[in-house]
Amino acid sequence: MVSEDDWRIRRQGDYLKGKTFYFHEFAQWSDTWDHEHCEFCWRSFSDQDGDEHNGYSTLDDFTWVCPQCFNDFKDVYSFNLLSESTFSGKTVLDVLRKEIGQFQNEDLYRYERMINLLKKMLEADMNSRPMSLTPVLIQTLPMSDEEPIIEMHDQLAIRLESGEPNKVLQTITELSKNDSLISEANDKQMMLYIKIADEM
């Protein structure tokens, strides 16, 4: 049991409660992104000697928790472990809403996080629903009281008759390589998000 005033507790419950994790080896994302920290005790994960090499992460590979902290907090925050039945009967949108933080409580998600998540779902037995995917460029401004700039690119919206994970993954990957979209994002220092809508 951990006590309520454990030094590792901040506000993790706000964004991690009930999330699904899986155990795996740390893999470097890029030259500039070569390590992660445990969300609780701040221990490092990397390829380096002395750091943790394996741990639990959320399905988008975004938040890492070391084995010690996972054991200490899994009941406190109702963490799930990924299994074959985790996604049974769910749709892609159900899983995104549960496992990845939305932008401003709308169904807008960072594309890299979606790609990481969808790769874990390719073999899952899920419900399929028609859906649409619309690329959205978002710029969050440094002053927290300023409204973000949000540009919907409806002309690039894609409707999928069957919202199966592999189709969704393929579509998002293609959008993330769209030259005009990416050069516009780079010019304006905006980030690519994807808006998901049910189309029943």
Binding site for Zn ion (CB under 5 A): 38, 40-41, 43, 66, 69
Comparing CA positions, the residue from 5, 82, 68 lying closest to residue 39 is 68
- Amino acid identity, residue 84? E
Token duo for residue 165? 């994970």
| Cβ 52 to Zn ion shortest distance, Å | 8
CB nearer Zn ion, residue 66 or residue 172: 66
d(CA 172, CA 153): 14
We find the least distance from the C-beta atom of residue 68 to Zn ion, in angstroms, to be 6
Q: Nearest distance from residue 9's CB to Zn ion, in Å? A: 12
Pairing mode, strands 64-65 and 80-81: unpaired
Q: Which is nearer to Zn ion, 23 or 123 (CB)?
A: 23
DSSP string across 82-133: --TTTTTT--HHHHHHHHSPPBTTBSEEEHHHHHHHHHTTTT-------EEE
Residue nearer to Zn ion on the CB measure, 43 or 153: 43
- Is 41 or 76 the residue whose CB approaches Zn ion more closely? 41
Q: Cβ of residue 161: shortest distance to Zn ion, in angstroms?
A: 44
